[in-house]
Amino acid sequence: MCLAVPGKVTEIKGKTAIVEIMGVLREASLELLEDVKVGDYVILHAGCAIEKLDEAEALKTIELFKELKDIYHE
């Protein structure tokens, strides 16, 4: 039930955003977040953006996944 998906904010009208999820546009409430801007990635759950997605941290995690590759290649 806690399934939530990432999407990109393409438009903001008051407390509602239009969020693009893999090419699909959905309306989402922004009332549980502060300072969301067009272009931000958010995590959507049951019609609400519940958290922003931190792009720098997302890239760091991908680097962590690759740590093993480096170990194997050393």
Partner 1 sequence: MNNYLDPYRDTGLLHLWAERLQKYQGKPLKLMEVCGTHTMAIARYGIRTLLPERIRLVSGPGCPVCVTPSYYINSAVALARRPETIVATFGDLMRIPGDEGSLLEAKSLGADIRVLYSPLDALKIARDNPERQVVLLSVGFETTTPIFALAIDKASQEGLNNFTVLSANKTMPEVLKVLAGDPTVGIDGYLYPGHVSAIIGTRFYEELAEKYGVPGVVAGFEPLDILTAVAALSEICNEGRHTVRNLYTRVVKPEGNPRAVQAMERVFEPADAVWRGIGRISGSGLAIREEYARYDAWKVFDLQIGEYSEPEGCRCGEILKGTKSPGDCPLFGTRCVPENPVGACMVSSEGTCAAHYKYGGIR
> Binding pattern to partner 1, positions 32-61, x when CB under 8 A?
xxx--------x-xxxx-xx-xxx-xx-xx
- Name the CA radius of gyration of the chain, rounded: 15
Does residue 24 bind partner 1 (CB under 8 A)? no
Q: Rounded CA gap, 66 and 51, in Å?
A: 26
Q: Cα 49–51–53 angle (5° rounding)?
A: 110
Look up residue 25 and give its amino acid.
L
Instruction: Supply the minimum distance, in Å, between the C-beta of residue 37 and partner 1.
Output: 16
Q: Rounded CA gap, 38 and 49, in Å?
A: 13
- Judged by CB under 8 A, how many residues of this single chain contact partner 1? 33
Binding site for partner 1 (CB under 8 A): 1-4, 6, 22-23, 29, 31-34, 43, 45-48, 50-51, 53-55, 57-58, 60-62, 64-66, 68-69, 72
